[in-house]
Amino acid sequence: MNQLNALKQFTTIVADTSDIKSICKYQPDDATTNPSLILQAINLKNNQHFVDQAIKYGKMKGGLYKDQIINASDKILVDLGVEILKYIPGYISSEVDARLSFSKEKCILRAKKIIYLYEQQGVTRNRVLIKLAATWESIKAAEELQKENILCNLTLLFSFAQARACAEANVFLISPFVGRIYDWYVAQNLISKSSIEKDPGVMSVCKIYEYYKKHNYKTIIMGASFRNIQQILYLSGCDRLTISPILLDQLQSNTQKLERKLIPHNTFLTPPQPLSEEEFRWEHNQDAMAVEKLSEGIRNFGRDQLLLEKILSKKM
Catalytically active residues, by annotation: 131
How far apart are alpha carbons 233 and 262 in whole angstroms? 10
The beta strands (E) that lie in 48-176 are given as 92-95, 128-133, 151-157, 173-176
Burial 159-193 (b: 16+ CB within 10 A, else e): bbbbbbbbbbbebbbbbbbbbbbbbbbeeeeeeee
Query: 160 with 297: CB under 8 angstroms?
Result: no
How far apart are alpha carbons 22 and 32 in whole angstroms? 13
Residue 86 CB partners (closer than 8 Å, separation 6+): none
What single letter denotes the amino acid at residue 198? K
Q: Is the dihedral of CA 71, 39, 249, 9 positive or negative?
A: negative
Residues 301, 303, 309, 310, Cα dihedral to 10°: -150
With CA atoms as reference, report the closest residue to 250 among 279, 268, 226, 217.
226
How far apart are alpha carbons 216 and 266 in whole angstroms? 9
Dihedrals φ, ψ of 17, to 5°?
Answer: -165, 160
Residue 202 CB partners (closer than 8 Å, separation 6+): 178, 182, 196, 231, 234, 235
